């Protein structure tokens, strides 16, 4: 029997953007969280996933792995470039609670083309990926840490940036990009459509492409994510498109990893679809013996559930957001 890994990398968004009084109760989610063995990840889900399917690759970088999904094979360094929306006060700056944005393919292509014209000769290149994160390519830099912007929703983004000298070139570029995006035609179109404008690009996870990953059968991947698809490609496997429902595709007997993004336009409706189409069916597969293990990754923790643990009737469910915050 196989394992199902369900990764919810953007679940922090409704917790940051919505009053918990408006959040729906999710019985299957709450049952899973109550009965599972949980543990802090202690690291970003990118590294957790790479460790789960490929060991600990040397020279690991999220941007470098994602570049593999685009067929890049060069010595440049790559950073994930996430469109974000900042809210400026009189003397404060915050990342909007729903400020991690997703551009359409056409918007990404348009932005990358204009970046090439505006920053021609700078040594930096912006690449459309067709996923939430674009990619920034540039000259090799000394490594430094920058946080995933999802972990900074509603907060001062300065906490997520390295203040080391090594980060100075990228900080300068980020400031120039903010000026470039101010009043940009793409943002004007988004605002007209009632969408948040991208006031910046958040560069993170930078580094070189991995020299090699340990060969291992990672199972199937259902995802719309540049990093995960690049990881599977480096392992010699292919990713599948994410179906609308766990039961919508034929049953996969091998290990299955699913990355479920939270659409930003209707967080409450998305959570209800997550419950109905993914969490409840996963529990049914476990109860029927089709899966040996379910592992849910969200909010900086993992929750691992087996059939014996599912019978822990004395562990009463609580609101799912309380369980996430307590982790």
- Per-residue pLDDT tens digits for 262-303: 766 678 888 999 999 999 999 999 999 999 999 999 988 999
Both 15 and 85 in a single domain?
Answer: no
Per-residue confidence (pLDDT) for residue 143, from 0 to 100: 80
Both 179 and 71 in a single domain?
Answer: yes
Per-residue confidence (pLDDT) for residue 280, from 0 to 100: 97
- Please state, rounded to an integer, the average pLDDT across all residues of the chain: 89
Cα–Cα distance measured from residue 139 to residue 203, given in angstroms and rounded to the nearest whole number: 14
Judged by average pLDDT, the poorest of 107-111, 214-218, 257-261 is 214-218
For residue 84, the enclosing domain spans: 66-207
Per-residue confidence (pLDDT) for residue 265, from 0 to 100: 65
Q: Give yes or no for residue 44 having a pLDDT over 60.
A: yes
Q: What letter would DSSP give residue 263?
A: -
Confidence band, pLDDT 50/70/90 cuts, at residue 326: confident
Both 80 and 198 in a single domain?
Answer: yes
Cβ count near 202 (within 10 Å): 28
Both 117 and 134 in a single domain?
Answer: yes
Number of folded domains that form the chain: 2
Per-residue confidence (pLDDT) for residue 264, from 0 to 100: 63
CA torsion sign for 308, 55, 243, 274 is positive
Both 179 and 227 in a single domain?
Answer: no
- Per-residue pLDDT tens digits for 133-150: 999 999 988 888 888 999
Both 227 and 189 in a single domain?
Answer: no
Among 157, 182, 207, residue at a domain's last position: 207
Among 181, 207, 233, residue at a domain's last position: 207
Per-residue confidence (pLDDT) for residue 97, from 0 to 100: 86
What mean pLDDT do residues 62-82 have? 91
Q: Give yes or no for residue 13 having a pLDDT over 80.
A: no
Both 56 and 85 in a single domain?
Answer: no
User: What is the pTM for the complete model shown?
Assistant: 0.90
Both 100 and 198 in a single domain?
Answer: yes
Per-residue confidence (pLDDT) for residue 79, from 0 to 100: 96
Confidence band, pLDDT 50/70/90 cuts, at residue 214: low
User: Taking a C-beta distance cutoff of 8 angstroms, is the pair 294, 304 a contact?
Assistant: yes
- Per-residue pLDDT tens digits for 74-91: 889 999 999 999 998 888
Both 71 and 191 in a single domain?
Answer: yes
Pairing label, strands 291-298, 2-7: parallel
Both 37 and 169 in a single domain?
Answer: no
Both 96 and 140 in a single domain?
Answer: yes
Per-residue confidence (pLDDT) for residue 138, from 0 to 100: 94
Confidence band, pLDDT 50/70/90 cuts, at residue 191: very high
Both 228 and 309 in a single domain?
Answer: yes
Among 171, 191, 207, residue at a domain's last position: 207
Burial of 42 (0-12, 13-18, 19+ CB in 10 A): exposed
């Amino acid at each position: 029997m196989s394992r199902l890994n369900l990764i919810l990398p953007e679940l922090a968004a409704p917790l940051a953007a919505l009053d918990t009084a408006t959040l729906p109760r999710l019985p299957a989610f709450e049952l899973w969280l109550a009965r599972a063995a949980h543990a802090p990840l202690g690291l970003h889900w990118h590294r957790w996933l790479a460790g789960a399917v490929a060991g600990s690759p040397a020279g690991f970088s999220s941007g470098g792995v994602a570049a593999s999904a685009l067929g890049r094979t060069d010595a440049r360094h790559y950073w994930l470039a996430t469109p974000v929306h900042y809210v400026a006060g009189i003397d404060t700056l915050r990342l909007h609670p729903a400020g991690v944005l997703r551009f359409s393919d056409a918007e990404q292509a348009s932005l990358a083309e204009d970046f090439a014209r505006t920053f021609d000769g700078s040594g930096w290149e912006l690449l459309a990926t067709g996923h939430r994160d674009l990619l920034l390519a540039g000259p090799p830099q000394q490594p430094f840490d920058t946080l995933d912007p999802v972990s900074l929703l509603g907060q001062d983004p300065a906490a997520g940036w390295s203040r080391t000298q090594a980060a100075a070139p990228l900080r300068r570029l980020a400031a120039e990009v903010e000026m470039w995006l101010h009043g940009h035609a793409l943002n004007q179109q988004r605002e007209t459509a009632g969408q948040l404008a991208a006031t910046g690009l958040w560069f993170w996870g930078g580094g070189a492409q991995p020299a090699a990953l340990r060969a291992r059968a990672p199972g199937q991947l259902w995802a719309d994510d540049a990093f995960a698809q690049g990881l599977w490609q480096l392992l010699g496997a292919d990713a599948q498109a994410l179906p609308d429902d766990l039961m919508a595709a034929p049953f996969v007997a091998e290990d299955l990893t699913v990355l479920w993004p939270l659409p930003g336009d209707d967080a409450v409706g998305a959570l209800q679809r997550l419950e109905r189409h993914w969490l409840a069916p996963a529990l049914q597969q476990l109860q029927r013996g089709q899966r040996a293990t379910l592992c849910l990754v969200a909010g900086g923790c993992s929750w691992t559930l087996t059939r014996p643990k599912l019978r822990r009737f004395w562990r009463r469910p609580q609101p799912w957001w309380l369980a996430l915050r307590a982790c």
